Amino acid sequence: MPRLFHRPPKYRLHKTTKQAVVSFFGKHIYLGPYGSQKSHQRYQEVLKDWEAARHQPSEQRQTDELPLEPAEKLVLSVTPNMLREKRLAGSPITISELIYVYRQHTHEYYRKNGEVTREAGAIDDALRLLRKHHATTYVAEFGPLALDELRHAMVRELDWSRKYINKQVNRIRAMFKWASSKEIVDAAVPVALQQLAGLKKGRTKARETERITQVDDAVIDATLLHLPPMVADMVRFQRLTSARPGEVCSLSPGDIDRSGEVWIYRPAEHKTEHFEKDRVVAIGPQAQAILKQYLGRLETDYCFSPAESERMRRALATARRTTPLSCGNRRGTNRKTSPKRSANDRYTTASYRRAIHRACDKAGVDKWSPNRIRHTASTEIRKRFGIDAARAVDGHGSTSTTEIYAELDLQKAIEVMREIG
Q: Which one of 3.30.470.20, 3.10.20.30, 3.40.1390.10, 1.10.443.10 gives the CATH number of domain 217-319+344-405?
A: 1.10.443.10
Higher-confidence position of 301 and 67: 301
- Reduced to 3 states, what is the DSSP secondary structure of residue 138? strand
Range picked from 128-137, 307-316, 319-328 for highest mean pLDDT: 128-137
Residue 249 pLDDT class (50, 70, 90 cuts): very high
pLDDT value, residue 410: 55
Residue 414 pLDDT class (50, 70, 90 cuts): low
Residue 6 pLDDT class (50, 70, 90 cuts): low
pLDDT at 61 over 60: no
Nearest Cα neighbor of 185 from 195, 196, 174 is 174
pLDDT value, residue 198: 95
Higher-confidence position of 19 and 98: 98
Domain 79-193 has CATH 1.10.150.130: yes
CB 268 within 8 A of CB 255: yes
pLDDT value, residue 403: 62
* Cα–Cα distance, 344 to 304 (Å, whole number): 10
pTM of the model: 0.66
pLDDT value, residue 56: 64
Measure the CA dihedral 135/138/143/145, to 10°: -50
pLDDT at 74 over 50: no
Mean pLDDT over 173-192 rounds to 96
SS (H, E, C) 215-266: CCHHHHHHHHCCCCHHHHHHHHHHHHHCCCHHHHHCCCHHHEECCCCCEEEC
Mean pLDDT over 355-360 rounds to 96
* Cα–Cα distance, 295 to 293 (Å, whole number): 6
pLDDT value, residue 10: 87
Q: DSSP labels for 80-119?
A: HHHHHHHHHTT---BHHHHHHHHHHHHHHHSEETTEE-HH
Range picked from 24-28, 176-180, 251-255 for highest mean pLDDT: 176-180
Element (H, E) at 54: none
Percent of the chain at pLDDT exceeding 70: 80
Higher-confidence position of 215 and 388: 215
CB atoms within 10 A of CB 22: 21
Q: Could you read off the pLDDT of 15-51 as tens digits, one per residue?
A: 766 778 888 766 778 787 888 888 888 888 888 887 7
Mean pLDDT over 293-318 rounds to 86
pLDDT at 1 over 50: no
pLDDT value, residue 335: 66
pLDDT value, residue 133: 93
pLDDT at 218 over 90: yes
Mean pLDDT over 227-242 rounds to 93
pLDDT value, residue 406: 60
> What are the φ and ψ backbone dihedral angles of 14, each rounded to 5 degrees?
-90, 105
pLDDT value, residue 26: 67
pLDDT value, residue 400: 61
pLDDT value, residue 72: 43
Nearest Cα neighbor of 262 from 283, 289, 244, 247 is 283
| Mean pLDDT for all residues in the chain | 83
Residue type, 189: V
In the chain, domain spans: 12-76, 79-193, 217-319+344-405
Mean pLDDT over 275-301 rounds to 86
pLDDT value, residue 372: 92
Mean pLDDT over 198-204 rounds to 93
pLDDT value, residue 307: 87
* Cα–Cα distance, 307 to 417 (Å, whole number): 54
pLDDT value, residue 159: 93
